[in-house]
Chains A and B, each alone.
Chain A
Amino acid sequence: MKINKNLQPISISIIVFVGILFITTINACAPTKAIAAKSGVQLWSENCQRCHNTPSPSTFSPEIWETVGMHMQTRALITENERDKIVDFLKSAR
């Protein structure tokens, strides 16, 4: 796709603007107090079963749960805060 040279600064500006808007939007998204106060065990029971059975905390070691947590964040697209709470619960409840 060829872009007219006169339009290049405009295109770059639009991309930068959309990028800033995207990052601002992401940072502006916030949960309510009730949602933010959810515990790891509650998030574990609500989110894991959306795709599969809730895993037993004793299945893996704490180190493995860290890695599995990152993998599941990429699959289920849970928030980072949810991932951390769920992983902390799985590690502590073994």
Chain B
Amino acid sequence: MKFKIQNSSYGFLLLFLLGTIIQLRAQDQKSTVDSSLLERINYLEQQMNYHKSGDDHFMVVGLANFGFSSNKTTNTLNGISTTSKKSNLGDIDQFEFSPMFLWRHEKKYLMEFEPTFSQNGLGVSWADISYFAAPNVIIRAGYLVLPFGTYSKKQAAGWINKFATDPIGIADMPTSDYGVEVEGGLPLGDMKMNYDLALSNGLQLGNDGTVTSGYLVDNNTNKTITGRLGLLPFSNSSLEIGVSGMFGKVGTEGTSFHNVNGNMYAFDFNYVKTYVPFLVNFKSQYNIVDISNADYTTADEWATNYTFKNHSTSSFTQCSIRPTGIQALHDFELAARYSTYNTPSNSTWGSDQSAFAIGLNYWLSWRSVIKFTYEKYNGNSTGSEVLNAFTGITKSNTLYLQFSIQL
């Protein structure tokens, strides 16, 4: 009996030892696997932290245009016609290199700076800082694009514009100025609206009645208010209609122009919708520029006094169709545009101008395009004959080939 008990005890002891050894080996293997996994996870965490975004961010984007134009212009004055022909690589409408620098300071500030190099030399399109003050309220200061119409702010970039040229008149409007701005987009039930209000140094009146902008030093103590209200009445945001106004003194303090004011208005329309298999894009803008009456003097030796009604209008209407739903043709786009520009008669720069452009575009990617544009232009001078400013009738035909890319 004693022998049996001893044998049983040895058996239990042996089993216990065997179980303990197996358990220890299993734990050892497990800890080896665990430590290997932990090392891997630690490494991945380090990699994640290495690539993790910071609060701030700096980047460079921008755009570039380059192309060729072939032009034939005929001018008829007093029954005599003269014709000139030109062909240019990288002319003023065809060459632009504009890097755009964006600094994001956390999620509240954004600094934007776009220098531009073109045939006009080196310039600055805008340089401003935006503060995202509240949901749908952005406050901006600096050299900013004025909220007058939508062309300058939204459609002028070469890779966005459906044509190789800007619409006449619209592109000649003052675009950027030094000032402050508040803007935002708002939901309105099924609709949306947006607002944009700027206070800037304002336009300055030239000695011939034209106005220009972008002066760091104001020519008077009055500031110019520019504002735009936009409404998107459809729930799919396909339609936007907007009205803009720009009001302020343009005359220089201490001169005979000191009381001259500028009142300007713009109406814009934008409709973009897919009608399978086509994407239809319709855009339009109408500008009115009214400068109050003033007496001007010619710069020549006779110093002739003259006056005129300083009223200008400019407009464009364009439509483009892209067969996005047809595989073989979805990179092509057809476009047509009609634009007008009427400047004051009896001034030294008066004319009634119109241009019709048709275009065929081939999209290499969503942001790079090759554009063929043919533009026919008519200009009838309404300049003062007394001041020798009448320049007759000008007609031109121009063919453009342009490559545009957003970088």
Contacts and interface: CB of A to CB of B under 8 A. Distances in A.
Nearest to B406: A52
Contact of A29 (B61, B183, B188, B238): B188
A50 interface: yes
Interface string A60-75: 0011101110110111
A74 B110 contact: yes
Nearest to B186: A29
A51 interface: yes
30 contacts: A26-B134, A26-B136, A26-B186, A30-B189, A31-B187, A31-B188, A32-B189, A35-B187, A35-B235, A46-B238, A49-B272, A49-B279, A50-B272, A52-B159, A53-B363, A55-B367, A56-B365, A62-B53, A66-B104, A66-B107, A68-B61, A71-B110, A73-B138, A74-B183, A77-B184, A79-B136, A79-B184, A79-B185, A80-B135, A81-B187
B190 A35 contact: yes
Contacts of A50: 237-238, 240, 270, 272
Contacts of B272: 49-50
Contacts of A34: 190, 235
A51 B281 CA distance: 9
B59 interface: yes
A41 interface: no
B38 to A, nearest CB: 28
B57 A67 contact: yes
B319 interface: no
B196 interface: yes
B110 A82 contact: no
Contacts of B160: 51-52
B154 A67 contact: no
Contacts of A64: 57, 59
Contacts of A74: 110, 112, 130, 138, 140, 183
Nearest to B150: A51
Contacts of B366: 52-56, 59
A46 B130 contact: no
Interface of B: 53, 57, 59, 61, 102, 104, 107, 110, 112, 130, 132, 134-138, 140, 153-155, 159-160, 183-190, 192-196, 230, 235-238, 240, 270, 272, 279, 363, 365-367
Summarize A's interface: helix, strand, loop or mixed. helix
Nearest to B196: A77
Interface residues of A, number: 38
A54 to B, nearest CB: 7
A18 to B, nearest CB: 12
A24 B391 CA distance: 56
Contacts of B235: 32, 34-35
Nearest to A52: B160
Contacts of A82: 185
Given A26-B136, A49-B279, A50-B270, A78 B185 contact: yes
A28 B217 CA distance: 39
A82 to B, nearest CB: 7
B185 A31 contact: no
A81 B237 contact: no
A82 B132 CA distance: 15
Contacts of A79: 135-136, 184-187, 192
A76 interface: yes
B63 to A, nearest CB: 11
Interface in A10-61: 23, 26, 29-32, 34-36, 46-47, 49-56, 59
A78 B130 CA distance: 15
Contact of B154 (A26, A31, A76, A81): A76
B282 to A, nearest CB: 11
A62 B138 CA distance: 23
